[in-house]
Each structure stands twice: as C-alpha cells, then as structure tokens.
Structure 1
Amino acid sequence: MLIDYHTHHARCGHAEGNLEDYVKRGIEIGLSQLGLSDHMPLIHVDPATYLPGMAMPMEEMPFYVEEALELKDKYKGQIDLRVGLECDYIEGYEDQIASIIKQYPWDYVIGSVHFLGTWDVSDYRQLDGWNNRDVDEVYRQYYDAVQKAARTGLYDFLGHIDMIKRFGYKPSGDMTQLERQTLDIIQASDTAIELNASGLRHTANEMYPSPSMLEYACQIGVPITIGSDAHQPERLGENLNLALIELKKAGYSQIATFCSRERRLISF
C-alpha cells in the first residue's frame, strides 16, 4: 500500500494545481490512499497586511471541504481519498483552532509548527528573522511549541517535527535531549508523527524528522505516517519510496492511516 497524507493545492496561495489534479496524479502513480491537507487559514495575524500566499482564506474553507468530499465520492473505487487539514499550532489560540477543527468532518488533522509568534520560520521570505537571534534558543522555542501542540490533543499527527532545520541553521549545542523529550511527550499524548520527505529538496537535505529522531520514535512506540508535502501535482509521492526505506531502517513495520479521525496501523 502506497499512501501520501501531506499535500497542498492552489487555494493556499503558494502551491499549484487544483484538488482534482492531485487526485488524477495519485491514480496515475498508483497511490492507494491520498490525503488532501491544505493549510488552515491565518488566525493570529492579519491576512490583509501579512505576506501574501500564506494560507487559504477563511471564506474558502467550506468550498475546500465540499470539493474534497465530492472528489472522494467521484473517484471512489479508483483511489481512497482522505480529507484533512494542516492546522497550525499557535500558542494562545487553542480555542479558535479547536473551533475550526470541529466545524468539518475531517479524516485527520495535522498539527504543524510554522510560526514562532508572528515569524513564520518555514518561509524563505522571512530568513531575516534569524538575524541577531541565538540559534539554540530558536530551536528550544520551536520544540517547546511542538510539545505544546502535542499536549493539546487537537491533532491526529504532528507534521515535520524538526522542520526548524529547513534552511540549514544549526544549533551549536546538542539537541538530542530536547528532541527525545519532545518525542516522549508526543508518545504520552498518543499522537502520531509523519515522516515528511520534503526535507530532501530543502537546504536541510534530510527528511523530517532526522534518522536519529526517527529511530528513537520507533523505540518508544510513536506511530508514524508518511507524506511528500507536495505543492505541485507532479511532486505527489516524491521520495516516499526512500521514506519507506528510512522507516524500515529505523525499525518501523507499520504505517498509520486515518479515517474519520480514527487511526489504523497497516503493515508495509
């Protein structure tokens, strides 16, 4: 079984292709399950004054879900579509996030940390945010946010949990203890994580999470799924063959799938 649970499309403003383009591509490459998981609308910054193309507008949410559900029915028997949302964790906005999640019939919700305050650490246009900052402290802030996201219980799995390494800024200190503490909290919260293959095309040149984190996650029993984080239809499934190899190396033999927010483990 080949699955891809992390994808984006044109509604988010920084991806290409419509939902049906991804569905057709998924059928073409032989996906068994395709997860549609576009970005939650911005809630803690003003979309009108923030940088453009960060996430889908709030008014597009119902149309996104409606279209995804229609495609799920249209292509039934050809590909198993799962309707999801990549839902930012923003400290202090937990109630608003929960409200958005509860409005729609998701198959799964990804909890991702992109923002530290109003700084999107995943945006190449905001690299000046690293200026005059202590890299080690940024890493500590990032993992603190990931830990808090896990503790909320709002999410089915956490996305790219060490994405802070994306642009190649490396801490001077050893982060192993902090990484393991984060994974311990994720395990205790009964939340899964993803192996996100997109890091191979970023400056980090490494999947999210790193092999050492992946191995520890397996040791302590953290469930895992996989995703390409495709922002173009042609990138759907990209490097997921390598992701499966990494999972086997780390000791995993099962992948988490989700339907109506219930987790099921399947062998691979």
Structure 2
Amino acid sequence: MIIDKHVHTPYCPHGSTDALVAYIEHAINLNYKEISFTEHAPLPLTFHDPTPEKDSAMLLNQLPAYLEELKKWQSYYASALTINIGLEVDYIDGFEKETTELLNEYGHFLDDSILSVHFLQHEETYYCMDYSEENFGEMIHVFGGVNKIYDAYFSTLHKSIESNLGKYKPHRIGHITLVEKFKRKYPYQQPIHHYTNPILDAIAAKGYELDYNGAGFVKPLCLDSYPPQSVAIEAAKRKIPLIYGSDAHSIKGLAQGYHQIIQDHLD
C-alpha cells in the first residue's frame, strides 16, 4: 500500500492535462492507500515568475476551483482512498509577508502541505533553479560557479525552515537536494552532507518532516532521489519522518521512484 504525499494536478500549468479523477483512479489501481495533492501554490502577486512561460504555479483565481474540486473527490472516494488537499508552497526570500497572507487566507482548507525552494536570488534578480539544464548553466556563469549556486540554495532552504510564515506554515520540507537535478552534467565535488547535515539538524529541531522525493530517478541528469539514500539515512538518525512523494505531474508519474527508494533501504 503506497502513501504518496507530493502529487500535482491539471491545475499545474507546466504539467499534464490529465484529469484529477484520472489521478485518483490510477492511484487506486496502483494500490495507493493515501494521496496528497500538493499543487504549486499561487506565487505572490508582486513576484515576477522568471520562467519563460511564466508557468511555475497555478494562478490565484484558480485556487478556489482547485480546492472545491478536490473537496468533491475527497468525499466521493472516501471509502477507497484517503485524499488530502494540499499545496506545495514556494519559499521566496523577501516575499515572506505575501506568502504568510496567502496561507492565512487559505490554510484552513488544507490537510497537508509542503514548503519548497525553487527560486534563488542573485543581486536583484530571481532564477528558477530547476527549470532546465541550459538555465542552470547560465546560472553558473551569473552566480560565479556551481558551488555558489549550492551555497545560495542551501542558505535559502535554511531560511525557509527558520521562517515565520504563520500558523499554517507547511511542516514538510520539499526535495531538499533539488539543486542536484543536473548533477551529472554539472557535478559538485564536495560531499553533499556538508550542506545537508545542517539542514537536517534544523528540520529535526523544528520537528518537521522530510519529502523523500522519487522524481529525481526519472531525471536523466540526476538518477537519484531527493535526497539521496545517504542523506535519508542521516535524516532517520535524527528521527525525521521520511514521507514518500512521487512529485508526479501526470498520471504516469504516480509511484515514480517508489520501488527504487524501497530497494535502496533493503540493500
């Protein structure tokens, strides 16, 4: 029985158009026990999405329909599958006030949520770190090296953990090694534990959970989980709950990486 707590929906503008009910039916066929739909929360209105298509998240005017549709299916499928209504909330350095306001308005509708970092700031400009390998290569030039991107990512990630986003702040931290998405093309020589151990210490101190994300296994320049097994072991030592997430953006993405993660912990 699979519990998957990081799943996207047709409300994601950079995902598929697969219907929500198709996700649910496929999840039941895959022997899911529980699923959390965690669509990308609307970005702050004053934040300018740096991606070319401006498609990083659903629009604010879509959020009520998203919540309403999930509430309908949550009730309809209650006997077959536990469905949690959630969001993947972006922590954007400098936009804490706007993020808190969104959570204060909509947080009481949510059963489950994730706090993630996708956007990094350099001087006055923001970059979507995981958008593409070409974009990551440009960032290396702008930031001054792969190590500078890692520094910026984990510094921002630490800020997200320590941030005060109000009573509805998500308590699960998303894909903490997402910066490694293109590591086979842009390798970083220092052991990842140099960065992740302090992050895990901060997560443990807060009593938060960790998204154990299988999507990296299907990314050809990563081929690993977020975080990798060695980091997950360190998390377990700190008694941090590891919560599997497929990070599916289509029905075919459901359960991706799940069996690799299970196998890693059997070996």
Quickly name the TM-score band, shorter chain normalised: 0.7 to 0.9
Residue 235 of structure 2 aligns to which amino acid in structure 1?
A
Residue 36 of structure 1 aligns to which amino acid in structure 2?
F
Name stretches of at least 5 consecutive residues in structure 2 with no aligned partner. none
3-state SS in 2 of match to 1:195? strand
Counterpart selection for 2:90 from 51, 73, 88 = 88
**Superposition map of 1:93-242 within 5 A:** 93-104=95-106, 105-117=109-121, 118-124=126-132, 126-127=135-136, 128-132=138-142, 133-152=144-163, 154-168=169-183, 169-202=186-219, 203-242=221-260
Distance 1:29 1:49, change over 3 A: closer
Contact 2:50 / 2:127 at 8 angstroms: preserved in 1?
A: no
Distance, in Å, in 2 between the alignment partners of 1:49 and 1:157 is 25
Contact 2:218 / 2:257 at 8 angstroms: preserved in 1?
A: no
Distance, in Å, in 1 between the alignment partners of 2:233 and 2:158 is 19
Distance, in Å, in 2 between the alignment partners of 1:215 and 1:53 is 34
Residue 129 of structure 1 aligns to which amino acid in structure 2?
M
3-state SS in 1 of match to 2:40? coil
How far did residue 100 of structure 1 move? Answer: 1.4
Contact 2:71 / 2:85 at 8 angstroms: preserved in 1?
A: yes
Stretch of structure 1 that moved more, 229-238 or 150-159: 150-159
Name stretches of at least 5 consecutive residues in structure 1 with no aligned partner. 250-268
Distance, in Å, in 1 between the alignment partners of 2:152 and 2:235 is 21
Note the alpha carbon deviations across 1:133-166, whole angstroms, 9 max, x for none. 3111210111111111111262220111000010
Give the CA RMSD over aligned residues. Answer: 1.9
Distance, in Å, in 1 between the alignment partners of 2:7 and 2:113 is 12
Under a length normalisation based on structure 2, what TM-score does the superposition of the two structures give? 0.87
How far did residue 50 of structure 1 move? Answer: 5.3
Contact 1:214 / 1:247 at 8 angstroms: preserved in 2?
A: no
**Superposition map of 1:9-24 within 5 A:** 9-16=9-16, 17-24=18-25
Identity score, percent: 25
Note the alpha carbon deviations across 1:5-63, whole angstroms, 9 max, x for none. 11112222111112212111111111000111110112253359953322111110111
Aligned residues: 249
Distance, in Å, in 1 between the alignment partners of 2:141 and 2:206 is 34
Contact 1:197 / 1:238 at 8 angstroms: preserved in 2?
A: yes
3-state SS in 2 of match to 1:131? helix
Distance, in Å, in 1 between the alignment partners of 2:240 and 2:157 is 15
Contact 2:8 / 2:249 at 8 angstroms: preserved in 1?
A: yes
Contact 1:14 / 1:54 at 8 angstroms: preserved in 2?
A: yes
Distance 1:167 1:79, change over 3 A: same
Distance 1:244 1:101, change over 3 A: farther
Residue 119 of structure 2 aligns to which amino acid in structure 1?
F
Distance, in Å, in 1 between the alignment partners of 2:50 and 2:203 is 34
Residue 172 of structure 2 aligns to which amino acid in structure 1?
F
